[in-house]
Amino acid sequence: MPDETMPPDRPVARPPALQPPSEPQLVLLRHGQTEWSASGQHTGRTDLPLTADGEKQARTAGATLAAYEFAAVYTSPRERARRTAELVGHPGAVVDEDLAEWDYGPVDGRTSRDVSEILGRDFQIFDDGVQVLPPSADHGEGRPGETLDQVAVRAARVIARAEQVLTGEGAVAGPDAGSDAGSGAGGHVLLVAHGHLLRVLATVWLGVDPRLGARFELGTAAVCLLGYGHGLRTIEGWNLAAQ
C-alpha cells in the first residue's frame, strides 16, 4: 500500500552540486529528517526538531545550493523547516504561514498503514484526504484537518508571492520580513517547507489536479527546481538529493 510520507532512505536522484541557470528558478527544499519522517508518521502541525541526521542533511543541502544567490527565501513556520533554512545558510528566511504542512487533523501522527487498518482498505491521502477519520484529541488536537483543495489554495498564494520576485515585480512581505525578503530585483526564490505541501505546490505550479502530487516522491532535504520554458511553467529538476 502506498505511504506518502516517504522515509529518507528511499532512492533519489543524485546530481552534482547545482549550478544556477541564468533564468530565475523557484527552488523547493524539503526539511531534513525528523523522527516521524523516518518512521513514516504524518507530521502536520506537530512541531518536531530535526534528528542529528536531519541536521547533517540540511548542511549538505546548503552546500548543494551554495552557488545560488536568492532574491528571496521563505520558510514554513514549523521548527523543522526553520532549522533547515538556518543550516542551509538563510537564518533570516521569511516565515510564511502558507508554507506550513498539510494540517492532517486525525491522521497526524499516524502512518498510512495505521489509517488503512482503521478503514479496512488501502488509504491514499491524495485521494481520500484526512477527514476519512473523525476528529481525535490524540491526533491533531481534535481538528478535522484540511482538505487537499485548501492546501492547494495556500500553495497558490505562495506561488503568487514568489512570482513577483521571480519576474522582478517585487515581493509581498510584511514590515518584519527580514534580510532574506525579496528586493524586487528579480531572481531565484527558495522555499523551505514540507513533503506534501511542496508536492501540492508543484501541481499548482503546473496547473494540474493536486491529486497528481501522489506521483511526486520527495525525500527529506531533497531539492526541486521549478522554472519556465517556451512560455510554460516547468519542472526542471525533482527530488534531487543534497550533495
Positions marked active-site = 31, 101
d(CA 114, CA 164): 41
DSSP 139: B
Q: What are 196's three cell numbers?
A: 506534501
Binning the chain into helix, strand and coil, the percentages to the nearest 5 are 35, 15, 50
Cα 16 from chain centroid (whole Å) = 22
Alpha carbons 30 and 165: distance in angstroms, whole number: 21
8 Å CB contact between 235 and 39: no
Residues written for the chain: 243
HEC string of 152-213 equals HHHHHHHHHHHHHHHCCCCCCCCCCCCCCCCCCCCCEEEEEECHHHHHHHHHHHHCCCHHHH
User: Any bridge partners for residue 225, and if so which?
Assistant: 27, 237
Alpha-carbon span 106 to 129, nearest angstrom? 11
Q: From CA 139, how far away is CA 124, in angstroms rounded? A: 18
